[in-house]
Structure 1
Amino acid sequence: MASQATVRRKPVPSLIQSTYEPQYALLDNPAPVEIVSPEKLVADHGDDGQAHYFSKSVKSHLRRPFAQRRYQGIKVESDEWQISDSQYWWIPIVWMLVWILIGILVGLGHHFAYRSLHEQPQSVFSQTWIHNIGTGAAFLVKSSFTLSVLTALQEILWFSFRQKAMKVSLLDKLFSLTSNPLCFGPSALINAPLATTLAAFAWIIPLSAILSPGSLTVTPLVHRNDSTCVVPTFAAASNNVSFWRIIPHGSTIYGPNAGINKLAGQVLAQGTILESKSPCGSNCSFQHSFDGPGLRCQNASNPSYLTADDGQETFWLSYNSTTYWNSTFGSGNTTMANLMTYRNNTKAQAGERSGYTTILCLAYNATYNVFVNYTNGVPGYTTNLTYNAPLESLNMTESMGYGSPWHTNSAMLVLEIFNNYLDGTWQQTPTTQYSIPDTSITQTTLAGDTDDANHGTAASLWFINQDLRTGVPELLTNLTLSTLAFSPVSTVTRCSVSMERLVYYYNPKLLLIPYSIALLLSLVALAVGVWVLRKTGVRTGQIFSQILVTTRNPQLDEISRGNSLSSADASALMQQKLMFGELKRGADGGKTRHAAFGSAEQLITLTGRKIS
């Protein structure tokens, strides 16, 4: 049963911002309008009601001529109205600026917060909260810059639709660029280069959130405090250290005792400096100097008694030419030296009869400049020797008192125990295949033998481990430094004490570079977006209402027939080429002018800020 109703028409603002007042709205007695129910519509038009609905002529009382049209306050004829600028076309520009400003402010706050924590103890602020705050700041920065790019992208995307006709499948890809990276391709870049580029920006900017939180880390920092400390110095011949063998109730020194012999055996066998207790803590360093023994070795000629026959059976020969002072020999020899002759076999050449090498090692009173660095209680030594005068004119009595010549006597003590290991011979007579070395050279790191040292021939056992011209002086230096562990004499020097603590370390490059790149991309998008908005004068968006007002075209209804629920299987539809422009008069079945998607033949290109 048909019902009667009174319909009041109100002006509805649209994209073209026009209002109208239908003539019948001004009548005192408006004509009744028939309300058609959906059932009646289906009954009248069958299953194809939608097509008949769009083709059905409008009731005569709805087609009365307009009394007037108003367009922004200006009266124009019905066939002269035009689409002009949106009233608020600049709003997207404001939003782009707002998002960029938020990104800049949060990024700067992130930077200054991290910088304030640089080299601060890890305990001043919870590392968990620092991580959470940094991650949150990185998220806000990348989100703000990305939103700015997306705001520009939606305007540029609709601007691209005006430029040329594109397949529906390509339009789908362009709409999906920000949600599906598989939509990027040559066709998108060729047909919509600006939109494709900005969509790529939207994917690149979030990468800035990966590096920026890692710009602040926790790392150990060594803090040094300088102070004075008491350190041991060289005094091996001091009269209150029991390194000498002295006859009871006497004053003459007869050489090193068992204590320093044990020390020498350990140092020479290992080839390293004996570790001593740190005088300044487990992590500290200091530098000091003292006088001690030093050797300088150089090549010399082979002894004349090494004949061609006998020389093949000699493997090591070392002779110490130094003697003590005593009443019989007076002041003793004035030159302290060792002459060493040996077969120059390496371990790989053991058993071969290589040529002889002879070196002469002269003893000097040397100045030791020692830098000692303790790390977790383990010392490391850096030593530089300055060779002064040769050691000579020894006076080996305790009654001389500490001082000169005690420094010389100290050098002599270390040299003697050192020479006790090197002096001697290792020879084999032609009449026997076996020999026992008359030297302790193989108990040091200078030379070696095999596991069969007591059973094999000498020729198959002997070899040297290094160049003895440098190895012998270095081993004496290690022995001298090892005596500091037992020295009763100390000196005062400057110490640098190291304290390790966990601190925050900020690397600004890992934060500022990603943020700067994101900001640069956002500014590029802003510039392009402003240019497009000023050129078109219309703000758009990837929203349903924008799709609604731009697809009011009967041709679109025709080509999409049968696919009202989904376009997934609409292969023919995907091949249709559409663009966005002004429908030609009559293209929509009437004289109304409006912009919509359609085929190139249906449309007039939209240029500038108005429909032409």
Structure 2
Amino acid sequence: MVISFVTGIFLALGQHFLYRSLNHKAYDSEDKKARVVLYGRALAYSCKVAFGGCVILCYRQRIWRTFRERALSVFTIDQLFLATEDPSLFLNWETITKATIVTAMALVLWVIPIATIVLSPAALTFGDFLELGTNNVGVPTLNFTAESFKDWRKRMVMPDGSTKKSLTYWNTTDRDAKTPGWYDYYDQPSADLKRIALMAAYNLKNQTLNRDDARIKSCGGDFNCTYAISFVAPGYNCVEIATGSNDDQKLHEAGAPFDTSALVPRGQNVYLASVDNGDYQRPQPAEFLSNQGGVPSGYIPDDFGFFKSEPVLWIGYSTNSTEPLPDDSPFRQNWTHRFDPHVFSCTHYETNYTVTFNYSGPFFTTHVSSEFLSPVVDTNFSRFDNGTINYNDPGPASNFLTPHLDVPKYKKVAAYHAMGKYLRDFLRGSMELVPPSPVGPSYAKVYSDITITKLVSNSTNEPLDDLPKRVQGLYTDMILSLFSAPQLLVVSEERMDVKTSKYKSTFMYTAPKLWACYIPVIFFVFVILLFGAFTIWEDGTTFGVGFSRIMVTTRNTTLDEISRGACLGNDPFPVELMQTRLKFGVLNEGGHELEYMGIEGSGVGHCAFGVPSELSPIHRGVRYAGLQRRSEGVKKMKED
């Protein structure tokens, strides 16, 4: 009994450790999956055999104690002997009331297969598992400082044979770089930058351009991942100056090139942008250039190729409030709804970006935070006597960026300027809105490339609300889209720990489910084991239910008489016999059997089934007739 119980516990532990070893493990082979599942089911079946064996052994001990204490019908005795294969005893009120303990044991025996074979394998399932980890990989980042030290005369060849390319094209005062005092100066953005800027502007998705294999490269394999990078790049700091027609005075004080009178409803423009005032002159003064392109001939002006200022973007737009105009409104003759004009300015800044990339399957999202550091070119314009801006007189001159003094800074600012130029190309121009009254309908006349960007509503063809923030966002998207071209000089790599995750189809083991099946079984089997052990101690011997045990315990002349005519073991059995109540005890008879067996002493009795009136209780420690006594008697008979 103990060995069976302990074996069952070890088998349950074996199933647990097997399932735990399979937890979150993926198998490509279906045969191997089926094989390991069968291993678990085999252990579950073995548990059932072990625990069931313990219960059966204890049950055998207990039914004999029940037969000694209770007089039961032959039908009930039949059912108790067949309890392991016939569950009908649970419908017999006599077994429930007079043999409660053994009936409960039988119930546990019938429930064990459900808990072990049926339910316990459900602790191991197959599904999607989110595997979390960390990879130390090289992720792409931006390094505009690399532009500071690029010489267009020298190709930068990468190990794979590709060439790193700059964001800018350059002119020079000497192609051979031999003339004393020679220097290179900025010409225009490169073709690679133009391609990326156009694609970023045309892109209407909620994600920036990126490489097709960006997730594999950045996450270190076929994972989802999250990481954050920081870099310094250009950015536009946009601030709203005027909201509504009453803020024109603020615009005049700020030196804006227009006011809200140019915007709907007072004016005809629903969008108006002035983005070129103070721009870098290209080409540099033509009278100083030779027929060799950007190479100057003869005298070179002192300020040749200087970055003296960066254009400030002045943008005005009007939004439809969807609120109908009152009948007494002065704008009622042209417009049906109230329009709110806005004017804002954007200054080009060197900006510290912190970007969090989140790759998930074929998609990715970015969360960007920025800190504006300092203007790209820190100069201001003087004013004429009438208060208007003199864009030909920036200052102070000490903040000019020259191509022959601080060359690294000049080249980096040139890259910033090239990025800003393409944003200005899309924002430049205007959109006129034809009034819907009196003839209608209203429609826009477009004189700007802003309509090819996501800054304009797809339904109304008018600028979207919160345009300052959207302009900053478009410029940020253009910068992040540089990651789609790893051949660019500014795209570099930074090693960092990346948080990875991946859904895998694996085995999934839930230990509480397994032990929710086994703990009740172990508990009840242990209680039954204690009952069985106590019964053996109480009886002083062990019992069995084999044929030999039945044969010797039914050797009673009374049983011979009442069972006469029913000796074939046939079904159905006589009803009157099945209703006869029997008990197990010591027969109250003479010593003829003892004398026949050659055993001396009348104190040794015969234990058998019989009617209660002919039986006495069995006492622990008394030596009743058994094989040992019989063998001694037979030996004596032979000697005589």
Match for residue 52 of structure 1?
none
Deviations 1:62-93 (A, max 9, x none): xxxxxxxxxxxxxxxxxxxxxxxxxxxxxxxx
Match for residue 628 of structure 2?
none
Alpha-carbon distance between aligned partners in 1 of 2:85 and 2:451, rounded to the nearest angstrom: 77
After TM superposition, list the pairs within 5 Å mapping 1:52-91 onto structure 2: none
SS of the aligned residue for 1:541 comes to coil
Please point out which of 100, 106, 114 is paired with 2:5.
100
What code does the residue aligned with 1:158 have? W
Please point out which of 434, 442, 446 is paired with 1:428.
434
Match for residue 202 of structure 1?
109
Please point out which of 234, 243, 257 is paired with 1:301.
243
Match for residue 289 of structure 1?
230
Alpha-carbon distance between aligned partners in 1 of 2:38 and 2:25, rounded to the nearest angstrom: 18
After TM superposition, list the pairs within 5 Å mapping 1:238-253 onto structure 2: 241=165, 251=185, 253=187
**Displacement of 1:151:** 0.8
SS of the aligned residue for 1:311 comes to coil
What code does the residue aligned with 1:264 have? A
CA distance 1:400–1:100, change in 2 (3 Å)? farther
After TM superposition, list the pairs within 5 Å mapping 1:146-295 onto structure 2: 146-181=52-87, 183-185=89-91, 187=93, 188-206=95-113, 207-209=115-117, 211=120, 226=136, 233=143, 241=165, 251=185, 253=187, 258-267=194-203, 269-276=204-211, 277-278=213-214, 282-283=221-222, 288-294=229-235
Is 2:374 the counterpart of 1:365? no
Alpha-carbon distance between aligned partners in 2 of 1:332 and 1:371, rounded to the nearest angstrom: 32
Match for residue 38 of structure 1?
none
CA distance 1:118–1:436, change in 2 (3 Å)? closer
CA distance 1:164–1:339, change in 2 (3 Å)? farther
Cα contact 1:283–1:375 (8 A) shared by 2: no
Alpha-carbon distance between aligned partners in 1 of 2:74 and 2:469, rounded to the nearest angstrom: 85
Please point out which of 457, 465, 481 is paired with 1:448.
457
Moved more, 404-413 or 215-224: 215-224
**Displacement of 1:599:** 4.5
Match for residue 311 of structure 1?
265
**Displacement of 1:578:** 3.9
What code does the residue aligned with 1:529 have? G
Alpha-carbon distance between aligned partners in 1 of 2:237 and 2:92, rounded to the nearest angstrom: 77
SS of the aligned residue for 2:536 comes to helix
CA distance 1:584–1:448, change in 2 (3 Å)? farther
Cα contact 2:586–2:608 (8 A) shared by 1: yes
Please point out which of 414, 417, 423 is paired with 2:422.
417
Match for residue 50 of structure 2?
144
Cα contact 1:271–1:475 (8 A) shared by 2: no
Deviations 1:94-133 (A, max 9, x none): xx12223433455555666777788899799966765555
**Displacement of 1:291:** 1.3
Moved more, 278-287 or 196-205: 278-287
What code does the residue aligned with 2:319 have? Y
**Displacement of 1:531:** 0.6
**Displacement of 1:380:** 3.6
Match for residue 528 of structure 2?
525
Alpha-carbon distance between aligned partners in 1 of 2:577 and 2:453, rounded to the nearest angstrom: 93
Is 2:483 the counterpart of 1:484? yes
Match for residue 542 of structure 2?
539
Cα contact 2:124–2:507 (8 A) shared by 1: no
CA distance 1:422–1:321, change in 2 (3 Å)? closer
Cα contact 1:297–1:469 (8 A) shared by 2: yes
Number of aligned pairs? 499
What code does the residue aligned with 2:136 have? D
Moved more, 98-107 or 152-161: 98-107
Cα contact 1:237–1:413 (8 A) shared by 2: no
Cα contact 1:289–1:368 (8 A) shared by 2: yes
Cα contact 1:315–1:427 (8 A) shared by 2: yes
Root mean square deviation, CA, Å:
5.3
**Displacement of 1:532:** 1.0
TM-score, length-scaled by structure 1: 0.62
Alpha-carbon distance between aligned partners in 2 of 1:132 and 1:144, rounded to the nearest angstrom: 18
Deviations 1:346-378 (A, max 9, x none): 9xxxx99577485857555332234557678x5
Match for residue 320 of structure 2?
343
Is 2:363 the counterpart of 1:388? no
What code does the residue aligned with 1:226 have? N
**Displacement of 1:273:** 1.4
Cα contact 2:320–2:340 (8 A) shared by 1: yes
Moved more, 512-521 or 323-332: 323-332
**Displacement of 1:482:** 0.6
Please point out which of 545, 548, 551 is paired with 2:551.
548
**Displacement of 1:155:** 1.1
Alpha-carbon distance between aligned partners in 1 of 2:607 and 2:268, rounded to the nearest angstrom: 111
Match for residue 72 of structure 1?
none
CA distance 1:403–1:217, change in 2 (3 Å)? farther
CA distance 1:602–1:262, change in 2 (3 Å)? same
Match for residue 24 of structure 1?
none
Alpha-carbon distance between aligned partners in 2 of 1:345 and 1:610, rounded to the nearest angstrom: 108
Match for residue 4 of structure 1?
none
Deviations 1:527-558 (A, max 9, x none): 11111111122322232233333334455456
Cα contact 1:290–1:368 (8 A) shared by 2: yes
Alpha-carbon distance between aligned partners in 1 of 2:99 and 2:338, rounded to the nearest angstrom: 83
Is 2:233 the counterpart of 1:325? no
CA distance 1:318–1:609, change in 2 (3 Å)? farther
**Displacement of 1:199:** 2.5
Alpha-carbon distance between aligned partners in 1 of 2:343 and 2:106, rounded to the nearest angstrom: 79
Alpha-carbon distance between aligned partners in 2 of 1:312 and 1:183, rounded to the nearest angstrom: 98
What code does the residue aligned with 1:404 have? K
Moved more, 467-476 or 523-532: 467-476
Match for residue 568 of structure 1?
572
Alpha-carbon distance between aligned partners in 1 of 2:577 and 2:565, rounded to the nearest angstrom: 10
Alpha-carbon distance between aligned partners in 1 of 2:456 and 2:575, rounded to the nearest angstrom: 88
**Displacement of 1:215:** 5.1
TM-score, length-scaled by structure 2: 0.60
CA distance 1:575–1:611, change in 2 (3 Å)? farther
Alpha-carbon distance between aligned partners in 2 of 1:219 and 1:433, rounded to the nearest angstrom: 56
Alpha-carbon distance between aligned partners in 1 of 2:581 and 2:432, rounded to the nearest angstrom: 102
Q: Which ranges in structure 1 are unaligned for 5 or more consecutive residues?
A: 1-95, 451-457
Cα contact 1:336–1:392 (8 A) shared by 2: no
Alpha-carbon distance between aligned partners in 1 of 2:623 and 2:508, rounded to the nearest angstrom: 60
SS of the aligned residue for 2:244 comes to coil
Moved more, 292-301 or 258-267: 292-301
Percent identity over paired residues: 21
After TM superposition, list the pairs within 5 Å mapping 1:579-590 onto structure 2: 579-585=583-589
Deviations 1:434-463 (A, max 9, x none): 42342555544455335xxxxxxx6xx769
What code does the residue aligned with 1:393 have? V
Cα contact 2:433–2:445 (8 A) shared by 1: yes
CA distance 1:123–1:326, change in 2 (3 Å)? closer
CA distance 1:441–1:594, change in 2 (3 Å)? farther
**Displacement of 1:169:** 4.1
Moved more, 519-528 or 247-256: 247-256
Match for residue 22 of structure 1?
none
